[in-house]
Amino acid sequence: MKYLNIAAAKPKVGVFSLTCCEGCALQLANKEETLAAFLSAVDVVNFREISSDKSDDYAIALIEGSISREDEVASLKAIRDRAKVLVAYGTCACFGGVNRLKNVLDFDWMNREVYGETPKATSPVRPVREVVPVDFEIPGCPVSKAEVERIVTHLVLGLPFAYPVYPVCVECKQRFTVCRFDLGELCLGPITRAGCNAPCPAGGLGCWGCRGPAEAPNYEEFLELARSRGIGDAELRERLSFFGGFDSAYELAQDEPLAVRPVA
Compute the residue count for the chain. 264
Q: Is the dihedral of CA 118, 120, 121, 122 positive or negative?
A: negative
- Contact between residue 252 and residue 218 where contact means Cβ atoms under 8 Å apart: no
**131 vs 218, which CB is nearer to another protein?**
131
Contact call for residues 170 and 215 (beta carbons, < 8 A): no
Query: Distance between CA 231 and CA 225 in Å, rounded?
Result: 9
Euclidean distance between CA atoms 61 and 15, whole angstroms: 6
Contact 9, 156 (CB under 8 A): yes
Residue 31 within binding range of another protein, rule CB under 8 A = yes
Measured between alpha carbons, how far is 57 from 63 in angstroms, rounded to an integer? 15
What, of ligand SF4, another protein, none, does residue 190 touch, CB below 5 to 8 Å by kind? Answer: ligand SF4
Among 9, 51, 221, 248, binds another protein (CB under 8 A): 51
53 binds another protein (CB under 8 A): yes
- DSSP lists the bridge partners of residue 85 as 60
Between CA 162 and CA 176 the distance in angstroms is: 25
37 binds, among ligand SF4, another protein, none (CB under 5 to 8 A by kind): none
Q: Which C-beta is closer to ligand SF4: that of 46 or that of 177?
A: 177
Q: Does 149 bind another protein (CB under 8 A)?
A: no
Residue 120 binding result from ligand SF4, another protein, none, given CB thresholds of 5 to 8 Å by partner type: another protein
Nearer to ligand SF4, 46 or 99 (CB): 99
Structural element, H or E, at residue 220: helix 219-228
The answer to whether the beta carbons of residues 203 and 253 sit under 8 Å apart is: no
DSSP 143: P
Minimal distance in Å, beta carbon 67 to ligand SF4? 13
Out of another protein, ligand SF4, none, which partner does residue 181 contact, by CB within 5 to 8 A per kind?
Answer: ligand SF4
User: What is the binding site for ligand SF4 (CB under 6 A)?
Assistant: 20-24, 64-65, 90-92, 97-98, 141-142, 168-169, 172-173, 177, 179-181, 187, 189-190, 192, 196, 198-201, 207-211
Q: Which chain residues interact with another protein by CB under 8 A?
A: 17-27, 29-33, 35-36, 39-40, 44, 47-54, 68-69, 72, 97-99, 101-102, 105, 109-111, 113-118, 120, 122, 141-142, 199-200, 202-205, 208, 235, 238, 242
